[in-house]
Amino acid sequence: MIYTHYQVQVTNTYKGAPVRNWDVAVPGGVVNRVQQAVAGAPMLTAGKDYLLFLWTSKTGLTQVIGLSQGLFNVSSNSSGQLMVSRGATSETMLNASGQIMTVSTIQMTLAQMSSRIQTVLAGGSGQ
């Protein structure tokens, strides 16, 4: 398996110990002229801001949860509010029961997303 590693500068942590930099591995990439593509794997761009939902494997490899499902773009709207968004995917996604699910576009303010995250972490539903 080929992984592309990104060094991510962290500005806010919702869960776990705060860190300044994080090594995030994304499946796929190129090594010695061998390319591996992984359907649904996120692509990060230097200089862009993201909200990432991460998990760390038993081997210590930190990845984005659910491939692209755990990556949200952060940008400012015309009013200067920070917005988070994730586009719909054309990839087939399965839920925990193995049933096909639809992943639609999500867009909200960063404040709304932060509130949902804090609610879920406190034991609520976040809806």
Give the Cα-Cα-Cα angle 8, 120, 82 (nearest 5 degrees). 50
User: Mean pLDDT in the chain?
Assistant: 90
Rounded mean pLDDT, 9-26: 92
- Partnered with residue 38 across adjacent β-strands are none
Cα–Cα dist 64/10, whole Å: 14
Encode pLDDT of 40-96 as tens digits: 899 899 999 999 999 999 999 999 998 888 999 999 999 999 999 998 777 777 778
Whole-number Å distance between alpha carbons of 79 and 28: 37
pLDDT at 87: 85
Rounded to 5 degrees, φ, ψ at 50 are -135, 155
The DSSP letter of residue 38 is -
**pLDDT > 90? residue 112:** yes
